[in-house]
């Protein structure tokens, strides 16, 4: 039964191009506002399952009425499938009846930068200039963030300082955006040094100081954050509520519970106009420290003083209850949230689903997944990956494959983690059929533009050889060669 399930599954997933006539598919699309999301899902799936030549042929000859909204939805759907997303973008660049917007270019630049294909990044920037749709400060924020994430902060600084060479002048807003990128990537010292050099040139404001202080709080250096605020006051700027919230959050992040509570009480004593962010910070901070009663007390106090919780407040409280208390109490709060008219978002559902999975209530977790769809809250890749991971941990490979197939049907396309979780799960039972399936998933990964780790290739090769699947091991070696990874010397 299991081997047949796997065979049927992989056959239906790898023979899409034989079952669908792409030209007819594209021509029958309806692209009204109500069907744009469905159309984006269907087109994204087709792009993933067709070979590159077929994609080019069908996109160039179809009669779809392309709009920026539809194109951007497709790029977002293909976010985790970079090469396919960029192929789609390039094909539409040549379309006689459609012109990319600056937003579409920014999506493509971000995708190329995530792939560390910087040659393509700068080629896209040049094309933006030629078409007079940018680049804009957001474009450079994307590029600098990706350079920092890739461990190239010096390059990010040079990019920021050279913005004007691309027709985009630096101003205070872009300066603050750049400082925020460095700080959130924990390059706070670099951000602070640049801040000291350039703050007069850009006339640094309260937002600038808040960003630097928050950066020090993120690395649990609250005293340095306080020094930055003293500098702010000395420069003639008044602290804002955001300023106080940053310090409060910094104390909690550093585990300084007494200092955090004292600071919160001092804010109340001085009659600061505390907001929902202030209370959410305290609720989450005490919850993370396992002080559930204190968190609940502050949550109730918040409502008592007339500050309505936000969805983010409920998310923080529900997460705390799931992790530190019990999931039943979390669900009580979730249901209370609904009764009061709040609309949960994907984060709310993800927290509840993860909590249910953690205590082994997988069927209930699946009910909440269906409930998300009913509430018009789209599950994201994290939602599915959590469920797939827990099914794999329980040895329920068939159920994990069912969830994975549901992703592939267009609800939410899998990412690299989705494949890695499933492939690791296949090794739990060490069956020959499982290892063949792991190999087929690996080949699908490569076909969709993912680059598996060398460990993943070698693990699957070893498993196939040990279970007598030498012929299929040859296919894995070809896939490994295709994505540019040199295999070890295997004697097949």
Can you give the pLDDT of all 492 residues of the chain as single tens digits? 333 333 343 344 433 333 333 343 444 454 444 455 678 888 888 888 777 777 777 776 666 788 999 999 999 988 888 888 999 999 888 888 889 999 999 999 999 998 889 999 999 999 999 999 989 999 999 999 999 999 999 999 999 999 999 989 899 999 999 999 999 999 999 999 999 999 999 999 999 999 999 999 999 999 999 999 999 999 999 999 999 999 999 999 999 999 999 999 999 888 888 999 999 999 999 988 889 899 999 999 998 988 999 999 999 999 989 988 889 999 999 999 999 999 999 999 999 999 999 999 999 999 999 898 888 788 899 999 999 999 999 989 999 999 998 887 766 788 889 999 998 888 877 788 888 888 888 888 877 777 788 888 888 888 777 777 777 777 777 777 766 544 444 333
Interatomic CA distance for residues 234 and 228, integer angstroms: 10
138-143 long-range CB contacts below 8 Å, 24 or more apart? 138/106, 139/102, 139/105, 139/106, 139/109, 139/168, 140/166, 140/168, 140/174, 140/178, 141/174, 141/177, 141/178, 141/181, 142/106, 142/109, 142/110, 142/113, 143/109, 143/113
Domain 406-492 listed as CATH 1.20.58: no
Tell me the CA distances in angstroms from 455 to 216, 449, 483, 488, one per residue in order: 36, 18, 14, 11
Interatomic CA distance for residues 466 and 311, integer angstroms: 52
Angle at which helices 68-77 and 102-114 pack, to 10 degrees? 10
| Domain limits, CATH 1.25.40, in the chain | 406-492
Contact between 143 and 121 (Cβ < 8 Å): yes
Comparing CA positions, the residue from 81, 136, 179, 126 lying closest to residue 118 is 126
Q: With DSSP H G I counted as helix, E B as strand and the rest as coil, what are the percentages for the chain, rounded to 5?
A: 75, 0, 25
The upper half-sphere exposure of residue 292, i.e. CA atoms within 13 Å in the direction of its Cβ, equals 11
Interatomic CA distance for residues 224 and 222, integer angstroms: 5
Tokens (6 digits) for 446: 């490569």
Interatomic CA distance for residues 286 and 85, integer angstroms: 43
List of E strands, 261-380: none
How high is the pLDDT of residue 410?
Answer: 62
How high is the pLDDT of residue 197?
Answer: 95
pTM, full prediction: 0.79
Comparing CA positions, the residue from 92, 8, 9 lying closest to residue 43 is 92
Interatomic CA distance for residues 120 and 454, integer angstroms: 25
Residues 6+ apart with CB under 8 A from 152: none
**Exposed/middle/buried for residue 327 (C-beta within 10 Å: 0-12, 13-18, 19+):** buried
């Amino acid at each position: 039964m299991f081997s047949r399930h796997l065979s049927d599954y992989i056959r239906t997933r790898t023979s899409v191009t034989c079952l669908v006539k792409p030209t007819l598919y594209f021509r029958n699309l309806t692209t009204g506002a109500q069907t744009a999301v469905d159309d984006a899902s269907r087109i994204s799936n087709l792009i993933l399952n067709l070979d590159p030549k077929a994609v080019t042929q069908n996109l160039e000859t179809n009669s779809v009425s392309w709009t920026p909204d539809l194109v951007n939805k497709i790029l977002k759907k293909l976010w985790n499938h970079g090469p396919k997303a960029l192929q789609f973008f390039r094909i539409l660049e040549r379309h006689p009846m459609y012109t990319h917007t600056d937003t579409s270019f920014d999506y493509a630049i971000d995708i190329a930068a995530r792939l560390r294909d910087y040659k393509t990044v700068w080629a896209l920037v040049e094309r933006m200039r030629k078409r007079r749709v940018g680049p804009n400060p957001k474009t450079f924020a994307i590029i600098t963030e990706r350079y920092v994430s890739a461990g190239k902060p010096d390059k990010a600084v040079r990019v920021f300082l050279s913005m004007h060479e691309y027709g985009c002048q630096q101003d205070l807003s872009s300066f603050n955006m750049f400082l925020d990128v460095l700080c959130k990537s924990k390059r706070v010292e670099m951000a602070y040094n640049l801040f000291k050099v350039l703050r007069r040139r850009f006339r640094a404001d309260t937002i600038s100081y808040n960003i630097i202080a928050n950066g020090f709080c993120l690395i649990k250096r609250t005293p340095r954050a306080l020094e930055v605020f003293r500098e702010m006051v000395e420069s003639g700027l008044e602290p804002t509520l955001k300023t106080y919230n940053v310090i409060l959050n910094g104390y909690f992040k550093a585990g300084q519970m007494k200092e955090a509570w004292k600071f919160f009480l001092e804010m109340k004593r001085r009659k600061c106009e505390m907001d929902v962010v202030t209370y959410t910070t305290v609720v989450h901070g005490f919850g993370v420290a396992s002080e559930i009663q204190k968190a609940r007390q502050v949550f109730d106090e918040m409502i008592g003083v007339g500050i309505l919780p936000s969805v983010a407040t409920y998310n923080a409280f529900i997460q705390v209850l799931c992790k530190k208390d019990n999931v039943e109490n979390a669900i009580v709060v979730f249901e209370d949230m609904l009764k009061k008219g709040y609309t949960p978002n994907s984060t709310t559902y993800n927290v509840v689903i993860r909590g249910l999975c953690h205590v082994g209530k997988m069927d209930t977790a699946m009910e909440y997944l269906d409930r998300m769809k009913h509430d018009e809250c789209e599950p994201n890749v994290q939602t599915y990956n959590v469920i797939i991971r827990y099914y794999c941990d329980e040895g329920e490979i068939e159920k994990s494959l069912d969830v994975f197939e549901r992703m592939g049907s267009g609800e939410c396309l899998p990412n690299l983690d989705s494949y890695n979780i499933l492939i690791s799960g296949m090794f739990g039972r060490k069956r020959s059929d499982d290892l063949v399936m792991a190999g087929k998933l690996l080949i699908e990964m490569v076909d969709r533009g993912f680059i598996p780790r060398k460990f993943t290739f070698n693990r699957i090769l070893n498993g196939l050889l040990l279970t007598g699947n030498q012929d299929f091991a040859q296919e894995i070696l070809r896939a490994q060669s295709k994505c540019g990874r040199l295999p070890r010397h295997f004697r097949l």
